[in-house]
Amino acid sequence: MPLPYLRELYARWHDTFPTPLTDEQEEQFARYAALLQVWNAKMNLTAITDEAGIVAKHFMDSLSVLTVLDGVAGPDYRVLDVGTGAGFPGIPLAIMRPHWQVTLLESTRKKVDFLVLVGNDLGLKNLLTLWSRAEDAAHLPKHRDHYDAVVARAVAELPILAEYCLPFVRQQGHWVAQKSVKVDEEVAKARNALGQLGGKLLTVKTVPVPGMEHETRSLVVVQKIKATPALFPRKAGLPSKKPL
């Protein structure tokens, strides 16, 4: 079950990603799209259900994170996707970078069950799932300061998201947040949070995403330069109620 539109859009990124999609990767994306459509009828996974929308607004948008991560990734690279929902951007990253270990963090049990099903169906041996709230998981020794990179898409505003994500990042590692409109405003609001949590803003990168040429997509790239104080993240609910 090929996805011709996927190959068409991916080919537009030739200068950025010169390595073509393999037949196996195309089949994995096609199977993932089919599973999204089937399971979306059973639970609310995504408002985007047409094949073209899934390819452009989910798959291509997720892969835009690689424009940052490919430049900093080392061997045995560990990535955490916070608030992954239906698996974005984590599952597309796991498909395209099978030598990375990708962990999906999600607080809704039904969505975690779906993610496990997808990982098994697609044969993604590099994919792990974690059922928890970020505020709780970030205090577990096996996850705190553990990941080379943390990614998040459409989860919360940056001051809140910083408290969810930075405690998971190892020192000198990176946090990449996918944003669209009003990114400069969010970045300005997040400066206090970054200072308290040990992060340093490196850049805000505008990325043209194939199939989304009329939408602004930005990657906020933060490096963790010092340890996050043990207080953070605060107990569940506080980061969103009282942002730093």
Per-residue pLDDT at 241: 94
Q: Is residue 195 part of a domain?
A: yes
Per-residue pLDDT at 216: 87
The Cβ of residue 194 has, within 10 Å, a number of other Cβ atoms equal to: 22
Please count the structural domains in the chain: 1
| Tens of pLDDT, residue by residue, the chain (244 residues) | 568 899 999 999 988 888 889 999 999 999 999 999 999 888 888 888 788 999 999 999 999 999 999 999 998 999 999 999 999 999 999 999 999 999 999 999 999 999 999 999 999 999 999 999 999 999 999 999 999 999 999 778 999 999 999 999 999 999 999 998 789 999 999 999 999 999 999 999 999 999 998 888 999 999 999 999 999 999 999 999 999 9
For residues 9 and 53, the answer to whether their CB atoms sit within 8 Å is no
Q: Is residue 152 part of a domain?
A: yes
Q: Please tell me the distance from the alpha carbon of residue 172 to that of residue 126, in angstroms, as a whole number.
A: 23
For residue 83, the enclosing domain spans: 62-241
Q: Is residue 218 part of a domain?
A: yes
Per-residue pLDDT at 1: 56
Per-residue pLDDT at 152: 97
Residue 39's H or E segment, with its range, is: helix 23-40
Q: Is residue 101 part of a domain?
A: yes
- Which tokens hold the place of 236? 């569940």
Q: At what angle do helices 158-165 and 183-197 cross, to 10 degrees?
A: 40
Q: Is residue 20 part of a domain?
A: no
Q: Is residue 109 part of a domain?
A: yes
Q: Is residue 81 part of a domain?
A: yes
Q: Domain holding 230: CATH number?
A: 3.40.50.150
- What does residue 46 show for φ and ψ, rounded to 5 degrees? -155, 150
Q: Please tell me the distance from the alpha carbon of residue 129 to that of residue 218, in angstroms, as a whole number.
A: 26
Q: Is residue 173 part of a domain?
A: yes
